[in-house]
């Protein structure tokens, strides 16, 4: 039987077809694997304190902080969102699932509350892209409710595509915030490329 000698320079790097690999085996890779998907960004914020909201007034939710408990402190994937005066900036382009849970309280009869996710694609004009309404009937004292909204947001440019959150109420009340619980909270998860 003749033995053929392989010359190193005659070999070329090429893609390995899946049929050439034993798909039941485990492989240790030392390089960077790309194109396999996965979550590259995930972040959560909460209101640090209550926000008073007047009757018939739309209020931007401000005073956002990341959770600070030992079990959650700094626990986010990627570089995370940045926030200033209630406006959130995305760390990279992509399709994001944005969730808002707005906790609301009022001592006024038959109060109607709306939570809104608003977005901009030019860093100037904000439009409502998701909203949820709820109502509560106060029998005595203060009653509580929540209005949850979510949206898939296509961030095509991190300088111009941004998100903010607002609340509207027919009567005076409070959008609930507290430093150690997720009363009013937002979360951002990047699902894939834009």
* CA distance linking residue 163 with residue 148, whole number of Å: 16
Q: Is residue 8 part of a domain?
A: no
Mean pLDDT of the chain: 86
6 in any annotated domain: no
Rounded Cα gap, residues 113 and 171, in angstroms: 8
Query: Would you give the end-to-end CA distance of the chain in angstroms?
Result: 57
CATH code (residue 125): 2.60.120.40
Whole-model pTM?
0.79
Residues 65-102: tens digit of each pLDDT: 998 776 665 678 999 999 999 999 999 999 999 999 99
d(C-alpha 159, C-alpha 42), whole Å: 19
Task: For residue 19, tell me if it sits in a domain.
Answer: no
For residue range 175-188, list pLDDT tens digits in order.
999 988 889 999 99
Which residues neighbour 2 within 8 Å (Cβ) at sequence distance 6 or greater? Answer: none
d(CA 137, CA 109): 6
- Has residue 23 been placed in a domain? no
* CA 53 to mean position of chain CA atoms: 24
C-alpha 182/C-alpha 69 separation (Å) is: 11
Distance CA 31, CA 51 (A): 49
Helix/strand/coil for 10: helix
97 within some domain: yes
Give the pLDDT score at 25.
76
* pLDDT reported for residue 70: 61
1 domain residue, yes or no? no
Closest to 99 (Cα-Cα) out of 182, 38, 158:
182
38: confidence class by pLDDT, cuts 50, 70, 90:
confident
Instruction: In whole angstroms, give the CA distance from residue 134 to residue 148.
Output: 9
Tokens representing 184? 């009013």
Within-domain flag for 145: yes
Most confident of the ranges 33-47, 71-85, 109-123: 109-123
CB 172 within 8 A of CB 123: no
Contact criterion met (CB below 8 Å) for 58 and 167: yes
Residue 136: domain span: 42-192
Beta carbons of 131 and 117 less than 8 angstroms apart = yes
Q: Is the dihedral of CA 83, 89, 90, 95 positive or negative?
A: positive
Count the domains in the chain. Answer: 1
Q: What is the pLDDT of residues 131-189, one digit of tens each?
A: 999 988 777 778 888 899 999 999 999 999 999 999 999 999 999 999 888 899 999 99
């Amino acid at each position: 039987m003749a033995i053929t000698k392989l010359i190193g320079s005659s070999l070329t790097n090429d893609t390995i077809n899946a049929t050439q690999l034993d798909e039941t085996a485990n492989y240790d890779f030392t390089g960077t694997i790309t194109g396999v998907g996965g979550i590259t960004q995930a972040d959560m914020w909460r209101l640090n304190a209550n926000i008073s909201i007047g009757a018939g007034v739309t209020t931007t939710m401000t005073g956002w902080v990341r959770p600070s408990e030992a079990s959650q402190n700094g626990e986010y994937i990627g570089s995370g969102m940045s926030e200033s005066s209630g406006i959130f900036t995305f760390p990279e382009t992509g399709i994001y699932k944005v969730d808002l849970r707005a906790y609301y309280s009022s001592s006024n009869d038959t109060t109607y509350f709306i939570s809104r996710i608003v977005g901009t694609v030019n860093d100037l004009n904000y439009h409502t892209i998701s909203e949820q309404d709820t109502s509560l009937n106060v029998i005595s004292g203060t009653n509580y409710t929540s209005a949850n909204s979510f949206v898939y947001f296509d961030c095509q440019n991190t300088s111009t595509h941004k998100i903010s959150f607002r609340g509207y109420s027919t009567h005076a009340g409070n959008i609930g915030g507290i430093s150690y619980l997720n009363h009013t909270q937002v979360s951002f998860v990047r699902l894939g490329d834009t």
